[in-house]
Amino acid sequence: MYQSFNANDTQANEVVAANAADSMKTVIMLYDGAINFLKKAIECAENGDLKNKNTYANKAADIIVELNTSLNMDQGGEIADNLSSVYVFMGRNLVDAILNDNVRGLSEVIKMLSNLKEGWEHVVGIATGMESCQAIMSN
């Protein structure tokens, strides 16, 4: 009927929550990296440095590919499917922007990444708040 309280279960839950928060923070850092590379790519394009524009845009594209391949499609369900679609769309925009020297395409990907980053930051904030509550309640 009633499940007994087990300190090991609480500790295991705290470890899982901490690992999830760390993973989310890693995703945020990857978004930051891609955004920064794209800003550098735009700056290079504006200065006529197409070689470095392409280098930085490709680095951002590599991050987006990594974000997409790291999705757990089995456990992520609809969210993972939707994120994958967004990442593929961003990748196509970047290829188009690189091939056609389209700075606007780079800016659009920055906006999408910024929106995703903001969403993940919100989730991390909630997870961090939950961890704090669990820590207070377990003491």
**Domains of the chain and any CATH numbers:** 7-138 (1.20.120.340)
User: What is residue 15's predicted lDDT score, i.e. its pLDDT?
Assistant: 47
User: What is residue 78's predicted lDDT score, i.e. its pLDDT?
Assistant: 93
User: What is residue 76's predicted lDDT score, i.e. its pLDDT?
Assistant: 87
In which residue ranges of the chain is pLDDT below 50? 1-5, 10-18, 132-137
State whether the Cα torsion 121-127-131-137 is positive or negative. Answer: positive
Containing 91, the helix (H) or strand (E) segment is: helix 73-99
Angle between helices 73-99 and 50-69 (to 10 degrees): 170
Predicted structure pTM score: 0.78
Instruction: Work out the number of other CB atoms within 10 angstroms of the CB of residue 135.
Output: 12
Question: pLDDT of 105-134, one tens digit each?
Answer: 999 999 999 999 999 898 877 665 555 444
Residue environment code for 30-39, b if the CB has 16+ CB neighbours within 10 A, otherwise e: bbeebbebbe
Rounded Cα–Cα distance for residues 40 and 11 (Å): 43
